[in-house]
Structures are given as C-alpha cells and as structure tokens.
Amino acid sequence: MMRPSNALPAVYLCREIVDFRKGINGLAVLVEEALQHNPFSEQLFVFCNRKRDKIKILYWGVPRSLVGSQAVLW
C-alpha cells in the first residue's frame, strides 16, 4: 500500500521523530500542526520512529474513511 493510487497528488514525509504509541488521532494532529496540511485530504503521510527502522503511513480515502495506518518493518 505504499502508493494506493497514481492519482495521489503528493506523498509527505514527516522528518521529525514520532512516538509510535500515537494512534490515528495523534498522527492526524501531527499532520495538522507539524506539516500544516489537512489530514483528511487524499494525500499520503509517512512517519518514522526514533531508530528510523519503522514507518507508519496515514492515508484517508474516499468517502473519508481511514484506508491505512500501518507500521512497516525493514
């Protein structure tokens, strides 16, 4: 699910360290405050943990339901 659609306008990477105990709501707040974007837009938001060995992906699809928030291990 790295890019669910070719029609996605953008993929944003939050370069700050993110506490992975944050849930969907916490990530949405980060998108609003740190990245200054609308978390409910059809864009992909990627977050890294402190060690930078895991990522979480937040993506809201149509009709405004959460399509994915997952941790990916390398």
pLDDT by residue (tens digit) across 33-71? 888 998 888 788 888 888 888 888 888 765 555 545 455
pLDDT by residue (tens digit) across 5-35? 677 778 888 888 888 888 888 888 888 988 8
Q: What is the largest CA-CA distance in the chain?
A: 34
Residue 57: helix, strand or coil by DSSP?
Answer: strand
| Helices within the chain (DSSP H only) | 24-33
Decide if 22 contacts 42 (C-beta within 8 A). no
Q: What is the pLDDT of residue 1?
A: 47
Q: What is the pLDDT of residue 53?
A: 82
